[in-house]
Amino acid sequence: MSKLYLIPTPIGNLEDITLRALRILRDEVQLVLAEDTRKTGMLLKHYGISKPMASYHQHNEHRVLEQFVSRMLAGETMGLITDAGTPAISDPGFLLVRECIKAQLPVECLPGPTAFVPALVNSGLPADRFVFLGFLPHKKGRLKRIASLVESPYTTVLYESPHRLLKTLTQLAEVLGGGRQAAVARELSKLHEETRRGTLDELIGHYGNTTIKGEIVIVIGAAQTEPAADEEETIYSES
């Protein structure tokens, strides 16, 4: 039976792909849907895999959606790959998954790389409860989204580009306060991987004088709120 596979790919280090992902790419799919066929082509070549590819990205997904669903209904199994990480996480994929489900086509998402998980865990901030917001809006609704974090009891994770990092850190500090704990992770899994931790003001001071490259993950600590009465720690003393 035909199926759609969502196949996570390395976010940097080419070793970060599962044996299962390679097997499915090699043996199960008839067509690879790629956000960028050039990048996917290099990945497949690295692992000695030769498969037909078709472009599927945010600029054409509405136009090609029906075509690919129809082909799967006719018996073709496809694998969706984005440039890096897990499809549909701040990347194309959601629309295709939704349409496949409507058409009663099986959808299977493989576990694998995604940038926000290592950034969150490595930040040193609580990771038991968190909110992932992806990229902030560039204009409309941006400050409103930031303001929603003022009293948030959860660690928050954002994606950002290098040229917007300082602007975003500055806006976060203006709204949340410069003393809020945070971390900035960049170049994850690559040679120059870095995680810098501190207050928002400290991070602004560092990145205001530093030119950086690579995709960015910002992790923001929760608001410091007083525990509810039924959540307060009980202190026992020996008598």
> pLDDT exceeding 70 applies to what percent of the chain?
94
Average pLDDT over residues 226-238: 44
What pairs with residue 34 in β-bridges? Answer: 55, 81
pLDDT band for 61, please (50, 70, 90 cuts): very high
What is the C-alpha to C-alpha distance for residues 107 and 91, in angstroms, rounded to an integer?
Answer: 17
* pLDDT confidence band for 224 (50 / 70 / 90): confident
> Among residues of the chain, what percentage have pLDDT more than 90?
89
Q: Please indicate, yes or no, whether the overall pTM of this predicted structure exceeds 0.85.
A: yes
- 229 pLDDT more than 60: no
| Residue position matching structure tokens 């067509």 | 31
Query: How far apart, in whole angstroms, are the C-alpha atoms of residue 76 and residue 11?
Result: 28
What is the pLDDT at residue 195?
97
Lowest mean pLDDT among 94-103, 165-174, 202-211: 202-211
Specify the pLDDT at position 225: 57
- pLDDT band at 210; cut points 50, 70, 90: confident
Q: What are 68-123's pLDDT values in tens digits?
A: 999 999 999 999 999 999 999 999 999 999 999 999 999 999 999 999 999 999 99
- For residues 239 and 228, give the distance between their C-alpha atoms in angstroms, rounded to a whole number: 28
Mean pLDDT score of the chain? 93
Which among 98, 105, 41 has a CA at the least distance from the CA of 78?
A: 105
Q: How far apart are CA 203 and CA 205, in angstroms?
A: 5
* Three-class SS state of 78: strand
What structural domains does the chain harbor? 4-109 (3.40.1010.10), 116-220 (3.30.950.10)
* Rounded mean pLDDT, 50-74: 97
Arithmetic mean of pLDDT, 157-174: 96
C-beta of residue 186 within 8 angstroms of C-beta of residue 215:
yes
* Burial (0-12, 13-18, 19+ Cβ within 10 Å), 217: buried
Greatest alpha-carbon span in the chain: 77
